[in-house]
Structure 1
Amino acid sequence: MPEFIDDATFGDYFRDFRYTAWRLETRRGYASDRAGKRYAQFLNGERLGIEPSAWSDNIRVQVRQGKRIERVRLVDNPPTQGQLFLLASAVNNIAAGEDIRNMWRGDAEKLGLPAVDFWLFDSCRGLVLHFDDADEYLGSELVEDPTRIAGYCQVRDAAWHHAIRREQFLEQVRSHE
């Protein structure tokens, strides 16, 4: 079992990085999303707009300092309901300054990308996010081993090269419906 960080320190990683925070999201859904008010709104067919949050506030602060916050989300074909929610709700993070891109899971598998959710900070520190089979968050494992970090950097570079911006990806999703 990996050793998890104290969840009280999780937010510190998103304030203390110097240049880049990058994430790979591989799950088909997240229990925390399904438990939220915005998910219920999404299921009711409501359009998800910009909603203030501590996360968005921090993204704005970091981006104003010249830092980049980026992520690539893997999406099944057809997308799961959780993935469609993430596509719809991404407008909030994007408006705050985060660059969110998407790629089809099949393309990620062809590239040999792992099915591991992680954050990579400044290409020297990582947080591997662990979940159970019900998509419940279990904790984050701090990774500073240079060999593992180099592997995450390679994953980031491959995923970022092949992922596309949300609007382009939504066009592809619609064309597959």
Structure 2
Amino acid sequence: MGRRFCSLADEEFNRLFTEFKLTAYRLEALQRYDVSYEQDEFARFLSGESRGEFPGIAEWIDGTVAKAVASGKILSRVHVVELPMSDYVRFECAWAYEHTVEAGEDVRILPVSRQEWPPELPHYDYWLFDSTQLVAMYYEEDGSFSSAEIIDDPRRVVEANHWRDVAQASAVPYREFARTHRDQLRVSG
């Protein structure tokens, strides 16, 4: 195994998002993430407030997505979403994906029934940079980040590429998913 990162703020980990050459892909498997930069906004969403400022997502959009897209790079993700959606997924769709898609990130949703995980996909998160660098993302039961690890095993990298292709072929573009679930998402400014 390769380098392990214990913080999402790790400088070397964050360089992965600026140094990739063409593609960065994320598979999201959790129905709840508990990250500090979203906690205030998630509480506001749950209380029915409007979106307003969202510094954590603004930093991702301005600092990563917009720069990558402007330089011809592709950022994409598939989130396997259990239906009915958790409050967190509704929040992530309406207050994050709605805006990252607008900035150029290719977000797709793979809706599944609760407890019916797609057998051809893993039940964990990872990033895949340029189809060659695999970074497994580890989370605690409550959705809090535990660590990330660069995986050096070529077989696992090939497997992650296969999973990416399966997930992207099975998922629907975020906007299409949002249209069919708009009443649940409460999309706002």
TM-score class, shorter-chain normalisation, is 0.7 to 0.9
Q: Any idea what the Cα deviations from partners look like across 1:66-85, whole Å, max 9, x if unmatched?
A: 00000001111101111111
Per the alignment, residue 98 of structure 1 pairs with 105
TM-score (norm 1): 0.88
Alpha-carbon distance in structure 1 between the residues aligned to 2:173 and 2:38: 27
- SS of the residue 1:31 aligns to: coil
Q: Is the 8 A contact 2:27 2:77 kept in 1?
A: yes
CA distance in 2, matches of 1:156, 1:21: 11
1:70 to 2:82 alignment = no
* TM-score, normalised relative to structure 2: 0.83
In 1: Cα distance, 2:107 partner to 2:51 partner: 16
1:56 equivalent in alignment to 2:64: no
Q: Within 1, Cα distance between the matches of 2:20 and 2:102?
A: 21
Between 40-49 and 120-129, report the one with greater CA deviation: 40-49
Alignment of 1:15-34 (within 5 A): 15-32=18-35
2:4 is the alignment partner of 1:4: yes
- Identify the residue that residue 120 of structure 1 maps to in structure 2: 128
Match of 1:158 in 2: 166
CA contact (8 A) 1:129 1:141 kept: yes
Alignment deviations for residues 136-167 of structure 1 (CA, whole Å, 9 cap, x no partner): 10110111321101000000000001111122
Amino acid at match of 1:99: D
| CA shift for structure 1 position 174 | 5.5
How far 1:51 sits from its partner (Å)?
Answer: 4.6
Measure, in 1, the Cα distance between the counterparts of 2:13 and 2:19: 11
**Distance in 2 separating the partners of 1:174 and 1:55:** 24
**Contact 1:18-1:122 at 8 Å conserved across structures:** yes
Equivalences, count: 177
Percentage of matched positions with identical amino acids: 30
Root-mean-square deviation (CA, aligned residues, Å) is 2.7
Counterpart-to-counterpart distance in 2, 1:144 and 1:110: 25
SS in 1 for 2:93: helix
